[in-house]
Amino acid sequence: RGELSPEQIDWVIDAYTRGIVADEQMSALAMAILLNGMNRAEIARWTAAMIASGERMNFDSLSRPTADKHSTGGVGDKITLPLAPLVAACGAAVPQLSGRGLGHTGGTLDKLESIPGWRALLSNEEMLNVLDTTGAVICAAGDGLAPADKKLYALRDVTGTVEAIPLIASSIMSKKIAEGTGSLVLDVKVGSGAFMKNIEDARELASTMVALGTDSGVKTIALLTDMSTPLGLTAGNALEVRESVEVLAGGGPADVVELTIALAQEMLTAAGIKDADPAKALADGSAMDVWRRMISAQGGDPDAALPVAREQHVVTASASGVLTRLDAYAVGVGAWRLGAGRARKEDPVQAGAGIELHAKPGDTVTAGQPLMTLHTDTPEKFDYALASLEGCYDVAPAGTAFTANPIVLDRIA
Ligand code: URA
């Protein structure tokens, strides 16, 4: 339970990245950090050492201010897809270096890869070019960015040490600071479908990340947002792209629209852009124009039909009344088991697999009506997915009062 000195932290991160410290030794240190925590000075130094393990990008050549968003991961969290083009349509440049899904939370790159032709891997020059010409780019982080985190994150994933707040905060912020964005809005998810199951832990994670960003000269704010139930009506790659396009076309589920606009407003304010109206940019098609240019610039065809899974299975409501709970984690695991997610980094994902919801908490349902449709190319997975959905919803008698959680639970700046 001693404190690591700055020299010890610099040494271990560098030596681990270069393969001098073995995985077994680093696992022991990660487990000690999970159990004992780190203080603010240790977390700041750990983050700086991970940034120093690779390159730092620079967007000074752009004429627009940069703004980025990072979500800690949830179920049905497709917000990056409408958000990046929306914020670009309002005047900021959005360099969105994203990841793939692991476990029950989906990954932005997996979702976009369901668009025929779309490429996640861009060189730094290509990335800058797409950003400069369209205002937004969503692509994979290059190997040069925080390589220490890449290695450590993979190790944490298989050693049960992902959920340490100092390690999550330094992992996310090292990549965002190295990426070179001028401002950053963090969407820290809270609830069953998130890493942080309760608001106190989410607050600690958010304030740790806000302090790291601010101390590094990145204007950083965090919203704590609800992840007790899935966002929108879809969880799964192509299903979520379809819903995102509906939002860009001025429609889409109310919770997805509300969170997209709330995050857009925060990003624009953090980037110093005043008087922009994100709701208008969704309604008048200007965000959709940026989306189409951004997808095309990365080889995708925005007009191509999206993949559809070969088989469907409908789950019906067991009773009539008010749907009072629909658990995000169960839906996330169900979509993952249907093939939307992967168990190992190298596994493929099915573009069409996932879960489509026909009702959300607060809706009135009738016994026997479709509650959700499961989609997969591998129907032998239906039973496995259905097992995870066992007991995932509650229906209360008709007339029962129901108050939905607000989407935005708190703001930390
Ligand atoms: N996302 C990251 O990039 N790192 C973590 O540790 C957790 C979520």
Instruction: Give the 3-state DSSP-derived string for 270-306, with helices as H, strands as E and coil as C.
Output: HCCCCCCCHHHHHHCCHHHHHHHHHHHHCCCCCCCCC
Dist. CA 94–CA 264, nearest whole Å: 11
Angle, CA 206 vertex, CA 209 and CA 121 arms, to 5°: 60
Tell me, using a 6 A CB cutoff, whether residue 171 lines ligand 1.
Answer: yes
Query: In a mutational test of the pocket of ligand 1, which residue from 69, 72, 105 has the highest number of ligand atoms less than 8 Å from its CB?
Result: 72
Q: Is 172 in the pocket of ligand 1 (CB under 6 A)?
A: yes
Task: Give the whole-angstrom CA distance, residue 214 versus residue 81.
Answer: 26
* 3 state SS of 218: coil
Measure CA of the first residue to CA of the last residue in the chain; give whole Å: 30
Residue 214 to residue 356: CA distance in whole angstroms: 39
User: 168 in ligand 1 pocket by Cβ < 6 Å?
Assistant: yes
CA–CA dist 176, 412 (Å, integer):
18
Coil, strand, or helix at residue 169? Answer: helix
Measured from the Cα of 156, ligand 1's closest atom is: 6
Q: Is the CB of 153 under 6 A from ligand 1?
A: yes
pLDDT at position 102, please? 65
Q: Domains of the chain, with CATH numbers?
A: 6-52 (1.20.970.10), 67-145+152-297 (3.40.1030.10), 311-396 (3.90.1170.30)
CA distance 357 to 288: 24
- Report how far ligand 1's centroid is from the alpha carbon of 308 (Å): 30
Are residues 104 and 75 in contact, defined by beta-carbon separation less than 8 angstroms?
Answer: yes
Q: Which amino acid is at 364?
A: T
Cα 303 to ligand 1 centre (Å)? 33
Could you tell me the mean pLDDT of each successive run of 10 residues in the chain, 413 residues long?
96 97 97 97 97 94 95 95 98 92 80 97 94 96 92 89 93 95 97 94 97 96 98 98 98 98 98 96 98 98 98 98 98 96 85 98 98 98 98 97 95 97
pLDDT at residue 289, as a whole number: 98
Q: Is 188 in the pocket of ligand 1 (CB under 6 A)?
A: no
Candidate of 172, 175, 177 to mutate for ligand 1, largest count of ligand atoms within 8 Å of Cβ: 172
Measured CA to CA, the distance from residue 371 to residue 333 in angstroms comes to 17
Q: Which residues are designated catalytic?
A: 70, 149, 156, 171, 175
Strand segments, DSSP code E, in 36-170 are: 67-71, 94-98, 136-140
Distance 65 CA to ligand 1 centre (A): 25
Report the nearest atom of ligand 1 relative to the CA of 171.
4
Token digits of residue 14: 């560098």
Return the pLDDT at 357.
Answer: 98
3-class SS of residue 43 = helix
CA distance 287 to 249: 9
* E strand segments, 129-218: 136-140, 183-190
pLDDT at residue 142, rounded to an integer: 85
pLDDT for position 148: 97
Quote the CA–CA distance of 218 and 153 in Å, as a whole number: 23
Element (H, E) at 106: none
Q: How many angstroms does the Cα of residue 171 sit away from the middle of ligand 1? A: 5
Calculate how far, in angstroms, residue 72's C-alpha sits from the geometric centre of ligand 1.
7
- The radius of gyration of the chain from alpha carbons, rounded to an integer in Å, stands at 21
Which ligand 1 atom is the nearest neighbour of the CA of 168?
A: 6
Is 247 close to ligand 1, i.e. is its CB under 6 Å away? no
